[in-house]
A and B are shown apart, each in its own frame.
Chain A
Amino acid sequence: MIHIYPGYNKNNEQENYECLTLLKGSVYSIVGPTGSGKSQFFEDIELLSDSQGVTRRVIKSDASIPVVAHLSQKMNFMVEMSVEEFVTIHASCLGVGDTKKHCDSVVQLANSITGEEIFCHDLLTKLSGGQARSLMIADIAMNPNSDIVLLDEIENAGIDRLKVLKMLSDANKMVLIVTHDPLLALLADFRFVFKDGGITHFLKQTLEEKRLSKHLLQIDRKQSDIRQRLRKGMEIREDYFNEKKITME
């Protein structure tokens, strides 16, 4: 559990809340244009900022030092090792007893969110973008020590982003996700809205939003379907849209 006390935006105006409490097992989306303070917010959380920071936001944690896992688009595997070798080494650093079993679970979990199968003997540095991203996420989900997961724009990584959110919240992590994807933003339990370096809104997903998100899911499926068709070398014609009309309310 972490508590956030108000800081100041770029115009030196105080944020309008008293204290926000974030819980494990919940998903928080973070929306706002670039330069609105989203990445700075991640930094505040990672460093448990005090009132001396850029934003003067104060962040306190119930655990003395929470273990924060951070995943962004520009991260890569650098080490020249096989998947199995590395995941096993990581597991032994984490104090996991049965490292072989742990490794199998991580790879299995990673394969559930990526389209191209990862094999234990694959070299880390040879994994595709989507494979690498899914392995990183699976490894974080299976890390018993990490409490807070920060995800930075993972929507373009070629992974099943909806399964990722479910996987991480099922693993009882506190998940914060910066996203420009309306579906991800809407599906989160709570939503932060940023502007000019400050938090302007902190909203709980309403029941109505929950109900309406199925429309966005439909659009999302439609888009995936079109993507698949394009990949198969098919042409997209007008009748395609007429046949399967997307209903918007």
Chain B
Amino acid sequence: MKITIIGGAASTGKTAITLYALRHIITKGIKPAVVKIDCLDASQDKVYASLNIPFAVGLSKDLCPDHYLATNYIGMFNWAKSKEADLLIIETAGLCNRCAPFIDLAFSICSIDYTTSINAPAKFGPIVKTADLLLLSKGDLISQSEREVFNYRLKELNPNAVVQEVNGLSGRGSKKLADYILKGKNIDSLDGATLKYTMPSATCSYCVGERRIAECYHHGIVNTMTF
């Protein structure tokens, strides 16, 4: 089975373009399964059900979605195998740009919205640096020159990644995306798989539900600003 992980900020078009790519994949006789990881609500993702393929949702609720994802990789892999899938696609919300959700054995896709301004790449961290493919959407809304600057800056962050422009509305670029996904390597198990980037420490009092903000309630690993 192949695994593809697609991460990126909300509303960059991950679900829309994944749906288009899945249609190409299904017509090739390949059997995909999809898991969607979200924080609070994944109700919009009923759209996957229309494809009549194995589909599951994981809601991280109070937990950081990336931590939640890391502890559920094995479970998702086994689930997809039990459904006799040839390909597992995991769609996840990569939220604060601090983390990257990717593992070394999976094909890693980072979804980015061109309209986030050409200064955005400087703010992206590990999720861009550790991706195998950068998926760029909404390029039809900004000028050619801005797209070129944006691409140049992404290339500086991650010179090795493939760049694919897509349009989530028309499905433009989805066939190329499907081809890249299908080039991913087949793996039998996730034994020995590692995260491409470490998760942040989550060990202060607020991680376990503290709400009071006075200094005497700060416990664990605390880092205060110096002014």
Please give the residue numbers on chain A whose beta carbons come within 8 Å of chain B beta carbons, in ascending order: 43, 47, 52-53, 69-72, 74-80, 86-87, 89-90, 93-94, 132, 136, 139-140, 143
Q: Which residues of B contact A74 (CB under 8 A)?
A: 140-141
A86 touching B145, Cβ below 8 Å: yes
Q: Contact at A93–B173, with CB atoms within 8 Å? A: no
Query: What's the Cα separation between A200 and B148 when bound, in Å?
Result: 34
| 4 closest A-B pairs by CB | A93-B152, A139-B145, A69-B144, A90-B145
**Which stretch from B32-40, B89-97, B114-122, B217-225 is at the chain A interface?**
B114-122
Kindly supply a per-residue 1/0 record for chain B positions 87-130, scoring 1 wherever the CB is within 8 Å of any chain A CB and 0 otherwise: 00000000000000000000000000001011100000000000
Q: List 24 A-B contacts (CB under 8 A).
A: A43-B170, A47-B173, A52-B175, A53-B175, A69-B144, A71-B143, A75-B142, A76-B142, A77-B146, A78-B115, A78-B117, A78-B142, A80-B117, A87-B145, A89-B149, A90-B145, A90-B148, A93-B148, A93-B149, A93-B152, A93-B153, A94-B148, A139-B143, A139-B145
Whether A140 contacts B144 by the Cβ 8 Å rule is: yes
* A175, chain B: closest CB distance, angstroms: 14
B172 interfacial contact with A, CB 8 Å: yes
Whether B118 pairs with A76 at a CB distance below 8 angstroms is no
Contact, CB under 8 Å: B140 / A75: yes
Interface size of B by CB at 8 A reads 20
* A80 surroundings in chain B (CB, below 8 A): 117
Cβ contact within 8 Å between A136 and B145? yes
> Which listed residue, B141, B148, B173, B176, touches A76 by the CB 8 Å rule?
B141
**Complex contacts, A89 vs chain B, CB 8 Å:** 118, 149
Chain A neighbourhood of B141, CB < 8 A: 74-76, 78
Contact between B142 and A77 (Cβ–Cβ < 8 Å)?
yes
Q: Inside 8 A of A90's CB, which chain B residues have their CB? A: 145, 148-149
CB distance from A204 to the nearest CB of B (A): 28
Q: Which residues of B contact A78 (CB under 8 A)?
A: 115, 117-118, 141-142, 146
Q: Nearest Cβ in chain B — how far from A238, in angstroms?
A: 45
What A residues does B170 contact at CB under 8 A? 43
**Could you tell me the distance in whole angstroms from the C-beta of B104 to the nearest C-beta in chain A?**
29
Which residues of chain B are near A71, meaning CB under 8 Å?
143-144
| Minimum Cβ distance to chain A for residue B127 (Å) | 21
Mark B175-202 against chain A: 1 for CB-CB distance below 8 A, else 0: 1100000000000000000000000000
Pair A136/B144 contact, Cβ less than 8 Å? yes
* Complex: A80 Cα to B115 Cα, angstroms: 12
Please indicate the chain A residues that have their CB under 8 angstroms from the CB of B148 in the complex.
90, 93-94, 143
Asked if residues B143 and A77 are in contact (CB atoms below 8 Å), the reply is yes
Complex: A80 Cα to B120 Cα, angstroms: 12
Shortest Cβ distance from A106 into B: residue: B145
Give the residue name and chain of the A residue nearest to B147 (CB).
A70
List the A side residues contacting B142 at CB < 8 Å: 75-78
> Chain A nearest CB: distance from B39 CB in Å?
27
Please determine whether B146 and A79 come into contact, CB atoms closer than 8 angstroms.
yes
Chain A's closest residue to B24 (CB) is: A52
The closest CB in chain B to the CB of A94 belongs to: B148
Q: How far is the CB of B71 from chain A (nearest CB, A)?
A: 38
A16 → B minimal CB distance (Å): 25
Instruction: Look across to chain A and name the residue whose beta carbon is closest to the beta carbon of B114.
Output: A78
User: Which residues does chain B contribute within 8 Å of A43, judged by CB atoms?
Assistant: 170, 172
By CB atoms of chain B within 10 A, which of A43, A47, A77, A79 has the most? A79
Q: Name the distance in Å between A154's Cβ and chain B's nearest Cβ.
A: 13
The residue in chain B whose Cβ has the minimal distance to the Cβ of A139 is B145
